[in-house]
Amino acid sequence: MKKIGVAIVGFGTVGAGVAEILTKNHDLLVARTGLDISLAKIADLDITTDRGVKVDPAILCTDAFAAISDPSVDIVVELIGGIGIARKVILAAIDAGKAVVTANKKLLAECGAEIFGRAADKGVDIYFGASVGGGIPIIRVLREGLVGNAVRRINGILNGTCNYILTRMEEEGLPFDDVLADAQRLGYAEANPSLDIDGFDTAHKALILAALSYGVQIPLDSILVEGIRGLDGRDVRYAGELGFKIKLLATIAREDDGIKVFVAPTLVPKTNMLASVSGVFNAALVSCDMADDTLYYGRGAGRFPTASTVVGDIADIAMNLAAGEVRHRNVIPKTGEASALVPASEMRNAFYARLSVIDKPGSLGKFATILGNHGVSIAAAMQKQGDDKPGAVPVVVITGKAREAGVKEALAEILAAGVVAEPPVAYRILKD
């Protein structure tokens, strides 16, 4: 039986999960692939800490580059994360002619062109199934199951940390800071939670989905990224009263005016399937021209869900190697231009806006006029019972479809006009 050697570089949570699956389900993999896929090397700076998985101590080493060049290694699995050393490891593996598996969304979103270009030049496979959605094989779905479809739209809940925080805010009426502190205590949120709560982790994943869907490499700094930091519990409550849940949503869409990619807290109608995705779970609703709507749901992080997708990639590459093929050399064919991206300021959405209106004659008229002057029409306005500052009343406005820039300019002008007691907030509404 042909033997395929795997090197894991980065023996952390996911690395240990991959080692365990390859060991525990070895015979299952043999039966399904006809190949002996085995661990050949595990590289990490720390090889003394117990990772909770039994491996042959002889395969542990601290030199990632020595592991990569070892002749027993056919596939290099990069699970270090971040950009610096992870980028060097992947490029060294490609240069050594080894196939690569990575779960590193940040690296692919920010250095994808270099890495995919090098893999294509050297004729090696690079797989990245676990970079989006953890245990949900969404990347494989786009590449294989839906390959005959044009993607109209993907809406995704792609960050479990944020979804956990939003779910607890909604279900328990807790403030953002309290839930974040709890999430950190429970290990769901990092000590420095910025990548998650400021939306960048979701944005990295959105850029990978956009690249797969539309063949474009879009720079991170050209898309709108808003996170959930400081989300006010009043908005979660008012949105709920209006029939919505607030979710941190990635939107990847192609419409008549171009490609739209953005990440923002979004009001999702409770009737939409994404509204029932709770806690740390992820989901993606993919709308295509032929298959129409399909929904993918599962654990977006964690040792075994993420490792499961990594092992799926390893098995696929192993079969390619056995067949003498490189199947995904051009994994992200460049079929589109990033210039097709609609600038964030020109995107049009319906908005929910909350204004803490100073209770004096003419305030309502004034802010309605300012919205109108910026081309923002009011579809509904409601005065809520609230605990705003003394002398101020919360007013929630639902707008018609409006230009992003128009809404932002109007809200800034409303604040400057002195008709509100605190800065107004606005969130986009997902149409059902």
The closest of 314, 318, 310 to 135, measured between CA atoms, is 310
Q: Give 202 or 363: the residue with its C-beta nearer to ligand HSE.
A: 202
Cα–Cα distance, 103 to 281 (Å, whole number) = 18
User: By CB under 6 A, is residue 284 in contact with ligand HSE?
Assistant: no
By CB under 6 A, which span of 8-16, 27-35, 157-165, 291-299 interacts with ligand HSE? 157-165
Active-site residue identified among 105, 205, 245, 247:
205
Determine the interface stretch with ligand HSE among 87-95, 144-152, 153-161, 382-390 (rule: CB under 6 A): 153-161
Contacts of 252 (CB under 8 A, 6+ apart): 151, 153, 154, 156, 206, 209, 210, 213, 214, 259, 260, 261
11 Cβ contact partners less than 8 Å away, ≥ 6 residues apart: 19, 42, 43, 44, 46, 47, 51, 60, 79
Site track 193-212 with ligand HSE (rule: CB under 6 A), x = hit: ---x----x-----------
Tokens read off for 192: 């420095």
Q: Within a 10 A sphere around the Cβ of 85, how many other Cβ atoms?
A: 15
- Residue 211 CA to residue 132 CA, distance in Å, equals 12
Token pair recorded at residue 397: 């406005």
401 is catalytic: no
Chosen residue from 102, 104, 155, 159 binding ligand HSE by CB under 6 A:
159
Neighbours of 20 (CB within 10 A): 19
How far is the C-alpha of 377 from the C-alpha of 372, rounded, in Å?
A: 6
Q: In terms of DSSP bridges, do strands 425-429 and 258-269 run parallel, antiparallel, or are they unpaired?
A: parallel
- Our finding on whether 309 is near ligand HSE (CB under 6 A) is no
Nearer to ligand HSE (CB atom), residue 79 or residue 402: 79
**Which residues does 54 contact at the CB level (< 8 Å), separation at least 6?**
23
Q: Is 228 in the site for ligand HSE (CB under 6 A)?
A: no
Q: Are 48 and 341 in contact (CB under 8 A)?
A: no
As measured in angstroms, the least distance from the Cβ of 196 to ligand HSE is: 5
Query: Please, what is the minimum distance in Å from the beta carbon of residue 62 to ligand HSE?
Result: 25
For residues 9 and 124, which CB has a smaller minimum distance to ligand HSE in the complex? 9
Q: Which of 161, 167, 308, 320 binds ligand HSE (CB under 6 A)?
A: 161
Residue choice 22, 79, 180, 301 for contact with ligand HSE (CB under 6 A) = 301
Work out how close the CB of 108 gets to ligand HSE at its nearest, in angstroms, rounded to a whole number.
Answer: 12
63 vs 177, beta carbon nearer ligand HSE: 177
Question: Does residue 300 bind ligand HSE (CB under 6 A)?
Answer: yes
Q: Which is nearer to ligand HSE, 73 or 248 (CB)?
A: 248
Residues recognised as catalytic: 205
Binding residues vs ligand HSE (CB under 6 A) = 159-161, 196, 201, 300-301
